[in-house]
Amino acid sequence: MSEDLTAVARFLYEAGTLKQTRRSGWWMAGVKDPESVADHSWRTSLIATIIAKLEGADPARAAFLAVWHDTGETRTGDVNHLGKKYSGGEADPRDIAADQVAAMPGLLAEALRDVIDEYEAKESQEAICARDADKLECMIQGIEYRDQGYTNAQRWIDNSRGRITTRSGQALADAVLETGSLDWLRVALGEK
């Protein structure tokens, strides 16, 4: 390969900061050590593959959009909705992505700008599935936190459920709400 990948290497280190960047909205629910943005993006990507498959969309593309959807938070941090009210709004993720990939090889930079643009445009079937996955992951995390005693997480559960738009996402959300967060363990141990 003849292209210089130094800018890509720098971005990979930058992306790693998302493993330490906490999802700040959970602090308002009283969660002392909330999940990281990377934790959220990983499960969002899994959920996106499932919703996309059920919706007849491309699961790999939906997962690709989901895994990249919060990469701009390396530059802004995770600013919760209340914080955005006081910080002058939200930085455009497209602008952040353009800065992040500016020095990368052209073909790669264009592909990464395109994935953020597609997610933000909210038009493709895969973007809609990835966005639903984002909401469903927040809902699931809220249930897990509620089950750990953080009763204020119910607000996030209710708000997230109300923002899911696909039929498959809504059906999956209903199934999640009817399933205990440790039912998987009980079944795996043969208790059910």
Total of domains in the chain: 1
Residue 1 belongs to a domain? no
pTM: 0.94
Residue 121 belongs to a domain? yes
Residue 33 belongs to a domain? yes
Which structural domain range is residue 43 located in?
A: 6-188
Tell me, what CATH number does 142's domain have?
Answer: 1.10.3210.10
As a whole number of angstroms, the distance between CA 179 and CA 173 comes to 10
Digitized pLDDT (tens) for each residue of the chain, 192 residues in all:
568 999 999 999 999 999 999 999 999 999 999 999 999 999 999 999 999 999 999 999 999 999 999 999 999 888 877 777 787 667 899 999 999 999 999 999 999 999 999 999 999 999 999 999 999 999 999 999 999 999 999 999 999 999 999 999 999 999 999 999 999 999 999 996
